Amino acid sequence: MGFSEDVRQRLNDLIGRGGLYPNKKRMADALEVDPSQLNRFLSGERGLTMDSLGRILDKLGVQAAFPNKKTGAARDVCFVAPGKTASGQGTENPNPEDYLAVPLAASPVAAGPGLIPEDAIDGWVLVWRHHDSVRLRTNLVAVEIGKNENSMIPALHPGDLVLVDRDDTNPDPAGRIMLVTEPGESGGAMVKRVATKRVDDDVELVFYSDNSREFPPFTYRLNRDYDGDISRAIVGKVVWAWSDMTRK
């Protein structure tokens, strides 16, 4: 299947029951393209201009992966004779298009700019792409809470995994759990809750813990400490977490 046919099929899969859009008109409105142009494309009558196609893919959060490109972004999955647990015997094999393979990296690596180098990836985490917390997100990275990182107990324990959307650096509303960094080149990366407050001509950033008695909050200024660049302070929002329930 060629690229255009693959895009057409995937867009059609998003329409109707169980999809993101109830009909083609609602899809066209959401993707900001001409309804008649989109309808002809979905029907296989004609193609889309590069501008229209690019706008659609941007709206859906699609990323292109070129040959030989080193990337730490979430990848598509190919199942090869997957094994099944006892409870899954007799069922159909999982559909690889329903999953993403998300790179697992140490928090300082995950907090670095750009794509994660292949040699810095510690492993891959399988994520069901249709979950409400994951849908349409592609710039994902998984981070393990370190052995002695107890500041987010009871929400997160050492050994837990968090899934971070590196495209979502919005700290509002207050209390979001996010992967953040301290100022400066040597500043550490950590998972904290975030609150903001307007102070004079600056914005105060408060990184605070659930275990606040032992781990007091950190307070910084966006302009003073991060040159006004929120992406230097906040790497991304934690959208999912895996926890070892034997510790609960």
Enumerate domains of the chain plus CATH numbers.
Answer: 3-59 (1.10.260), 88-247 (2.10.109.10)
User: What is the per-residue pLDDT for 70?
Assistant: 43
What pLDDT score was predicted for residue 67? 44
Task: Extract the tokens encoding 32.
Answer: 């900001």
Distance between CA atoms of 188 and 195, rounded to whole angstroms? Answer: 18
Cα-to-chain-centroid distance, residue 13: 21
pLDDT mean values, one per 10 residues, the chain (248 residues): 72 77 84 84 79 76 53 58 57 79 92 85 90 89 92 93 94 95 90 95 96 94 95 95 80
CB count in 10 Å sphere of residue 200: 8
Q: Tokens standing for 59?
A: 């709206």
Task: Pull the structure tokens for residue 96.
Answer: 């690889």
Phi, psi torsion values for 7, nearest 5 degrees: -65, -45
Record the pTM.
0.66
Q: State CA 174 to chain mean position distance.
A: 19
- Measured torsion, CA atoms of residues 12, 82, 69, 3, in degrees rounded to the nearest 10: -20
- pLDDT at residue number 114: 80
Residue with tokens 């693959």: 6
Strands 75-76 and 99-104: antiparallel
**Cα 193 from Cα 174, distance rounded (Å):** 8
- The span from the CA of 153 to the CA of 191, in Å, is 11
Give CA–CA dist 40/33, Å, rounded.
12
What length is written for the chain?
248
Report how far residue 42's alpha carbon sits from residue 44's, in angstroms, rounded to the nearest whole number.
Answer: 5
> For residue 83, what pLDDT is reported?
56
Yes or no: say if 116 and 189 are a contact pair by the CB < 8 Å rule: no
